[in-house]
Structure 1
Amino acid sequence: MADVLSSPPDLDRANYAAIWDAVARAVPDRVAVRAQGVTLTYADLEEHAARLAATFVAHGLGVDSRVAIFMYNRVEYLITLYAAYKLGAIPVNINFRYHGAELAELLEMSRPSALVHPSSLGAAVRDAAQRVELPGLVLVVPDQPHDEPHDEAPGQTRPDGASDEDAPGRGDASTDAMLFARALDAEPLPAQDRGPEHKIFMFTGGTTGRPKAVVWTHGNLFDSQLFSIYGSLPVAQPTSLADVTRIAARDDLPRTVCLPLPPMMHATALFNVMNAMVLGGTVVFLPAARFDPAAAARAIQEHGVTRLIVAGNAIVGPLVDVLDSPEAAGIDISSLGTVLSSGMVWSDDLKRRLLEHAPHATLIDIIGSSEGGPFAYGVVRGPDDLPCRLRLAPGAVVLTPDLTPVTEVGGTGMLAYSGAMPLGYHDDPARTAETYPVIDGVRHVMPGDWVRVLGDGYVELLGRGSGVVNTGGEKVFPGEVEKVLLALPGVVDAVVLGLPDPRWGEVVTAVVVPAPGTQIAPEQVQDEVGRRLAGYKKPRRLYVLDELTRSPSGKLDMHRLRRRLTEVEQPALVDAAGAPDGGQGR
C-alpha cells in the first residue's frame, strides 16, 4: 500500500512529535495541559514524554512498535501519545469500556509492545491476561477513588477498583509491570529525526463486529487537519515547520483552550487535542473519568475554554440541562468560540439552547469518520442559521453505488471524499479496496454514509448503510449481542437493531422470541449482556414477540420489523436512565 502524502511540499517535517518539540522550544513556559489538579507547561510535557520514550527504548521499543493506550482522558494519555510519536512508534487506542475478552481480542490483533492503563481497569487487564499474552511492558497509572469506573449506563465500564496488589502480569514472568511514574525516572531521550511517514492507528468498530485499525500517517493526518487548525485564525496556512512554530508562538493570536468531553480513544477528541497542541494551546481534561456536565460547565468558566469538543446530543443535552438549571446560575461559558461535534446526532433545539449560553460560539457539526473526511459541515453562527443545513466539504461528492455522481436534486447516494486520507485498514487489503476506491484515477474514501442531495451543495444525512448501531458515539455490532441473547435459556430467536432516539442518535434494541411457555425477564437480558460485553452494548429497549418472520434463507425484512416496532409494538423495557452517556462516561 503506497503512502499518500499530500502536505504542502515544503512542510517536510509534518510529524506531530517534531511539531510539538518545536512548539515546546518556542513557548516552554506556556501551559500545555491542566488535568487532575496537575498543570504542565510545554517544557514539562516534552520532558515527561522524552523520559517515557527513553523507558520505551530501554524495553526494546522503536519505530513501528505499538503502544496500547487503555485509558480515559487524563494527563498520562497525552504523555504516552507524545512519547510514542517521539519514537516513531504507533499508538493504539483501546476502548476503556472493554471487558477482558474484548481487550484480549484487540491486543491479539494489534500485538503491542507496551500497554498503559489506570489501576481502575486492572480487572479487565487481568482477565485479558488469562486469554492472551500481555505485552512485555505494562505501565499502571494509579487512580484516585473518584476515578474508579462504574457500569450504570451503556458506554460505561464495570467496577474495577484496584489496589497495589492488583498489578497486571502477576505470575507472568515475561511481562514487566511498573507504575507509570517510575517510567518517568529515565534520562530524557534526545529528540529524534521523525518525518511524515510514521503511522498512527485509529481502531474503530465496523460491520464485521471486529475492531479494525485505520492507518494514518502523520503527514496525511496533519494535511487533513489544516483547515480545522488554521481555518478560524487570521493567518495563511503554513508551508514549513518554521511557519507552524511562528504561528504557535504569536502572542497576538487568540489563545486556544481546548476541552474534549468525549474520550480521546475516539478520533474527534484525539485529533482536536492534537490540533490544539499544534497551535501551542492549552488542553483541559475534566477531573474525573465519568462525564459530569456540571463539572464541564465549571471547567469552561474556570479555564476560559475557547474550543469545546462534544458528541452531539449525548453530551450537549446534559450540558444545557445543567446550564438551564438554577444550580448553574452565575456560570459563564461565553468564552466559547467554537463548539465542535462529529459523527453524532446534534439537534437544532439543543444548538439553540447552547447558543443562549454561548452567544459568541460557532457550532460546527461535521460528518466525518475515522476512515477519513470531512464529508460535510453544518455551521451555525447564531440562531438565524437554524435550522442547520449540511453542506459538502471541499473534495466531497455524492456517488451512486456504481460510483457515478448524483447530480439531480432529491437523488440519494453515498458520501465520498478525495482529499487527504489514511493509507487504509491495517492488514486488510480487501476492505481497504472497498472503502477507498480509485475513481477516474483519484483515490476516494467511502465509509457508507447515505445522503439525499438538496442542491447548491447541501445534503441531508440518511444514515450508514450497514446495520451497525451508533449509540452515544459508540458502535455496536448486532450479531455480537444476538449471540449472547440466543445463549439465554428459553430464547429461540433474537435480533438486535438500532432505533432512533432524539438524544443518543440510536439506542440498542433487542427483539427476542421465547420458547412456548417461557417468560423472559428484561433484567435478565440486560444483566447477561452486561456480564459478557461492554455496558454500552446492553439493549435499552426490549421487545418480546411470538415470532420473527424470516424468509426461507433465514433473512428478516428489517424495514418491516422497524415499522412494526415503532408503530405497533410496545417494548417490555425502556431503560431511559441507562442510556449512553456519550462522553467519557465510566
Structure 2
Amino acid sequence: MTLNLATLFEAVAAALPDRTVLVCGDRRLTYADLDARADAVGRRLRSAGIAPGEHVGLHMLNGIEYVEALLGCLKIRAVPVNINYRYTDRELHHLYTDAGLAGLVVDDAFAPAAARVAGECPALRAVSVVRTGETAEKPEWPSGVSVGDYSSEPGEPDPSLREGRSADDHYVLYTGGTTGNPKGVVWRHEDFYMAALKGGNPYGPPRLSAEELAAEAKNGFELSFLLTMPLMHGAASYTLLMALLTGARTILMRRFDAMDALRAIDREKPMIVAVVGDAIARPLVDAIRAHGAEYDLSSFKVLGSGGAILSRSVQDEYAELIPDIHINNGFGASESGVDGSISVGADGLMRLGADASVTVVGADMKPIPPGSDEVGYVARSGHVPLGYHNDPEKTARTFPVVDGTRWSVLGDMARVEADGTVVVLGRGSGCVNTGGEKVFPEEVEQALKAHPAVMDALVAGVPDDRFGERVAAVVELRPGASATAEDLREHCRAHLAGYKIPALVAFTDAVVRSPSGKADYRWAKRVLTEKN
C-alpha cells in the first residue's frame, strides 16, 4: 500500500477507534472522532472548489481545529501550508502570495491580518474562519472570496475522499529559518514519512505499509506527548504526525505557559514533553524548580527538543530535578527531516549521533575524511525534499543533484573526528570572521548560557576596523539575577579561546526569538550594531 500520510493515519484510526488521540483544554477526541471530523473538513474544502495539489493555509493557534484541518487537507490531496501567526503584514504578504493559497483556515483573531493581504492572492477563493471568541471583529474580504464559519461536524462517510492518493502527493512546510523570507519546503509524502517521521518508528526499522504501521500502533506501547510549541513550527508538526501514526495521545497547549505546562503534566500524565530548545525548556525548568513539588510530575520521563539545541546547563538542571529523565536533543531541519541527536559535552562541543543517510561533505560534495581539519556541510541523501516552492535558484543550491542523487545540504557546518564522530559547529551563514578566525555563534551561546544568571543569549558579529568583525552578544538575565559584562566574559574564558570571548555584551529585557524558539539573528545584529 502506498505511503501516503492520510492513508497511513486512517489505517491507525481504524485499528484504534476508541483510543484518545487529542486533548486540548477540556476537549478530547478519539481516533474515530478525529478521522470523522477530518473527513468533514476535507469534504467541505472540496465542496468549496479546493482541488488536489492546491495550497490551503493554516493560520491558527494550537487546537483541535488545526489538526482536523491539517488531516482534512491531506485526505483530499490538498497541501496544508503552515502560517506563522506572529508574522507582520509584510511577512504574511510574502508567505500568502509565495504559496499561492487557494484556501485558508484562520482563527478569528488573525482574520483581520489575513484579510489585509488576501487581495494580493488571486488564487484565494475559500476562507473558513474558526470562531474562538477571541475577537468579534469581522473584516472586509476581497470580492470573489467565499468566507464562512469553520465546521467539522461529521456527516455520512464519503469513500470518494480516499481516491487517487499517491506517495508522490505533496506536503509543504514553510520555514523562516534565522535569516531571509520564509521558504516553502516541498516534500513527497513518502520522503517526509521516511525522513521526518522515521518511517513511523523512531526506535527501529521503518514500517513499510499501512497494515504494518496500524498493527504496531495497536500492539505496541502507548506513548503520550505534551506539545508545548506551536503546531505551525516544523518540529511540532514532526512530533504531532509521529504521534498520530504511532497510536499515541497528544496533549496540545494553545499557547505555552510554564505553569500551565505543569498543570497539564499533573492532569494528563504525559510521558514525553516536547519543547524547542532553551526558549521553552528553561522557563519550564525554572517553574519545576520553584513549584514542581506542588504537582505530580511522575509521568514525565522524556524531554524531547527539536528545532533548537538544548544547552548543557539546561540539560543538567532537568537531570537534577527529574530523576532518571531521558533527554533527546534532536537535530534536523525543515529541509532534511530528523537527522539524529546532539550531545553537548563538558567541553561545549556538539556531537551528532547521525542517521545513516547523513554525512559531512565539502564544497565538491565529497565526504570529509575522518580526522582531517577540513570543515564541511552536514548533508543528507535518500529521502529528501524536492526543493523550495517557487524558487528554483535556492533549490539548486540547497538540493543539488550529484550523479543522479539528490542531496539536502544544510547550513550547518561540521567536522569529522578521527573516530568518525561528527562535531557540529553551527550555521555557516552566521559565522563571525574576526581577524581571519572563524567563530560559530552557537558555541559562544552555549558558554554564555552555562552561566547561572543567564536566561538566554544570541551571538553575532559587529563591524570592527582592525579585525573586520568582533564577537558580540545580546544577553537576557534570569529574573532577579545579576551579572556584569565582565562577569560573563570571565566565565567564558574557562570554556572558550580568547578570540571567541564576546568583546561587546548588550543586556536586554527579552531576547527576541520566533514563536517556535528559533534565533532572530537579524534582530541581534541590529541591536549590537546600534550598541557598537
Q: What is the TM-score of this pair, normalised by structure 1?
A: 0.73
1:401 aligns with 2:401: no
Structure 2 equivalent of residue 249 of structure 1: 218
For the residue of structure 2 that corresponds to 1:317, the secondary structure is: helix
Q: Which runs of 5+ in 2 are unaligned?
A: 433-440, 474-497, 519-532
Q: Return the offset for 1:214.
A: 0.7
Structure 1 unmatched runs, 5+:
1-11, 146-161, 470-496, 512-547
Secondary structure of the corresponding residue to residue 196 of structure 1: coil
Match of 2:320 in 1: 356
Q: Tell me by how many angstroms 1:205 deviates.
A: 2.4
How much has 1:578 moved relative to structure 2? 5.4
**Superposition deviation, residue 76 in structure 1:** 0.7
Task: Provide the rounded CA distance (Å) in 1 between the counterparts of 2:257 and 2:431.
Answer: 28
Instruction: Check the 8 A contact 1:93/1:202 in 2, yes or no.
Output: yes
Partner of 2:268: 303
Aligned counterpart, 1:68: 57
Match of 2:37 among 40, 45, 48: 48
Structure 1 residue 224 displacement after superposition: 1.5
Verify the 8 A CA contact 2:470 2:503 in the aligned structure 1. no
Shift in alpha-carbon separation, 1:36–1:350, aligned structure 2, 3 A: same
Q: CA RMSD in A?
A: 3.3
Which aligned pairs between 1:268-287 and structure 2 lie closer than 5 A? 268-286=235-253
Out of 127, 146, 149, which is 1:176 matched to? 146
Question: 2:468 corresponds to which letter in structure 1?
Answer: D
1:247-269 CA distance string (max 9 Å, x none):
1112xx32111222221212111
For residue 393 of structure 2, what is the amino acid of its counterpart?
A: A
Give the SS at the match of 2:91: helix
Deviation at 1:74, TM superposition (A): 1.0
Partner residue in 1 for 2:508: 575
Distance in 1, Cα, partners of 2:350 & 2:425: 15
Separation in structure 1 between the aligned mates of residue 504 and residue 347 of structure 2, nearest angstrom: 38
The 3-state SS of whatever aligns with 1:466 is helix
The question of whether the paired residues in 1 share the 8 Å contact of 2:472 and 2:504 is answered with no
Give the Cα separation in 2 of the matches to 1:403 and 1:229.
Answer: 30
> 2:86 aligns to what?
97
Whole-Å separation in 2 of the counterparts to 1:80 and 1:112: 15
Q: Structure with the greater relative contact order (CA < 8 A, sep ≥ 6): 1 or 2?
A: 1
Q: Give the 3-state SS of the residue equivalent to 1:263 in structure 2.
A: coil
- Provide Cα deviations, 1:412-469, integer angstroms capped at 9, x if missing partner: 2111112311111123223222112234543321122111323323232221111499
Partner secondary structure for residue 34 of structure 2: helix
Q: Does 1:39 align with 2:28?
A: yes
Distance 1:105 1:428, change over 3 A: closer
Q: Which residue of 1 aligns with 2:478?
A: none
Q: Secondary structure at the match of 1:69?
A: strand
**Structure 2 matches for 1:205-216, cutoff 5 A?**
205=176, 209-216=180-187
Counterpart-to-counterpart distance in 1, 2:234 and 2:167:
19
2:225, 2:248 within 8 Å by CA — same for their partners in 1?
A: yes
Pick aligned residue for 2:13 from 24, 32, 48? 24
Which residue, 94, 111, 115 being the options, matches 2:100? 111
Between the two proteins, what is the percent identity of the paired residues?
A: 29
Match of 2:354 among 377, 392, 398: 392
CA contact (8 A) 1:504 1:582 kept: no
Determine if contact 2:349/2:424 at 8 Å carries over to the other structure: no
8 Å contact kept, 1:248–1:279: yes
SS at match of 1:403: coil
Asked whether the equivalents of residues 214 and 370 of structure 1 are also in contact (C-alpha less than 8 Å), the reply is yes
Q: Residue by residue, what CA displacement relative to the aligned partner does 1:139-176 show, whole Å, maximum 9, x if unpaired?
A: 1112255xxxxxxxxxxxxxxxx21xx234x2533121
- CA positional deviation for 1:568: 4.2
Q: Which residue identity is paired with 2:243?
A: A
Aligned to 1:517: none
List per-residue Cα deviations over 1:187-241 (Å, max 9, x = no partner): 55434132211100111125872221111111111112454742337xx643322
**3-state SS of paired residue (1:444):** strand
Cα distance in 2, alignment partners of residues 171 and 365 from structure 1: 43
What's the secondary structure of 2:143's corresponding residue? coil
Residue aligning to 2:413: 450
Deviation at 1:352, TM superposition (A): 2.0
Q: Where in structure 2 are the equivalents of 1:151-550 lying within 5 Å?
A: 162-163=135-136, 166-168=137-139, 170=140, 172-181=142-151, 184=153, 187-190=156-159, 191-193=161-163, 194-205=165-176, 209-225=180-196, 227=198, 229-232=200-203, 237-250=206-219, 253-286=220-253, 288-289=254-255, 291-325=256-290, 327-378=291-342, 389-409=351-371, 410-467=373-430, 500=445, 502=449, 507=458
Question: TM (normalized to structure 2)?
Answer: 0.80
In 2, Cα distance between equivalents of 1:112 and 1:504: 39
The one-letter amino acid paired with 1:377 is S
